Amino acid sequence: MYLVYLGESGNTGTSVNDTTQPHHVNTGLLIHESQAVSISGEFDALYRRHFGRAQGEEGTPRYLRPAEIYQGTGHYVSWGVEKRHQLLQNCMDILIRRKTPVIISYVDKQKFAQAKIDNDSPAAVWEYPSEPVISRFLMALNMLLDELVMVGLTSEQVMASQWPIKDFALVVAAEGSSIEPKLMSQFLKSDDGMDATALLENFCFVGPDHSVGTQLSNMCAYFTRRWLQNPDSPQPYFDTLRDNDVVQVIYPVQV
């Protein structure tokens, strides 16, 4: 089974006017259950190396917030640039070494707001920018799962359209994020989700302080949003994920 950890960046609720966060981004980090223990162990070792003690112990941050590390705020006010860079790069290396797939979906919030005004736009049915982003994300996830199955099929099996389900996917969302349980049921009832047989029907909600995958996925979402905002400027963290085949899918919501 795949554990698909949702990351999020740019969540401004109903507001779409924050010029510093013009995009809403969701990422899905696909970690096969066979890799989950080793990734957690490597993350724990990383935490002890950078903070001198285990996550949750006194004097450590509850969990890693990428914006705080990158900007040198909160727990990291006294950390120099190189020390913060090393922490972020070590987190990226966990994914790069395994080529852990990341799916990305996003929407331009200003375009979303304008589309809601247009009566003939499908965006009119959505209340928040996160809703169509998750719908597109789940569709992209379903397509990737199909591709993973197809790799092991014969040409006869592909032509017969009888694809066995090799692995199911459980989508893990962070408590306090913009993800609501209804978004999964809405997708599965839609035309895009009718054949999503490998997706389990409910989100699993876990706090980021109890989820290594969520913390790493949030980092991917944060650096994706920075890249979307300034695609012509150097974005070393996003570039290293893309260039090392971690970023598998980038799916914009068309509004």
Domain range for residue 110?
2-252
H or E element, residue 250: strand 247-252
The alpha carbon dihedral of 115, 117, 122, 127 has a sign of: positive
Question: Is 114 exposed, middle or buried, given 0-12, 13-18 or 19+ CB atoms closer than 10 A?
Answer: middle
The DSSP-derived string for 39-54 is HHHHHHHHHHHHHSS-
So what's the pLDDT on residue 80?
97
What is the pLDDT, as a whole number, of residue 152? 65
Closest CA to 92 of 236, 222, 241, 239: 241
Q: What is the tens place of the pLDDT at every residue in 183-235?
A: 999 999 999 898 888 899 999 999 999 999 999 999 999 999 999 999 999 99
Written as six digits, the tokens of 184 are 């999964």
| CATH number for the domain harbouring residue 167 | 3.30.420.10
Element housing 120 (H / E):
none
Residue 122: pLDDT band with limits 50, 70, 90 = low
Q: What is the pLDDT of residue 240?
A: 96
Question: What is the Cα–Cα distance from 200 to 41, expressed in whole angstroms?
Answer: 26
Q: Domain tally for the chain?
A: 1
Indicate whether 174 pLDDT > 80.
Answer: yes
Mean pLDDT of 140-159: 76
pLDDT, one tens digit per residue, over 10-59 is: 988 767 778 888 999 999 999 999 999 999 999 999 999 999 999 989 98
The answer to whether the Cα torsion of 150, 240, 82, 209 is positive or negative is negative
What are the distances in angstroms from CA 87 to CA 50, 62, 78, 92, 216?
7, 15, 14, 9, 12
CA–CA dist 48, 32 (Å, integer):
24
- Residue 208: half-sphere exposure toward Cβ, Cα within 13 Å: 18
Mind listing the pLDDT tens digit for each residue in 58-113?
A: 989 999 999 999 999 999 999 999 999 999 999 999 999 999 999 999 999 988 88
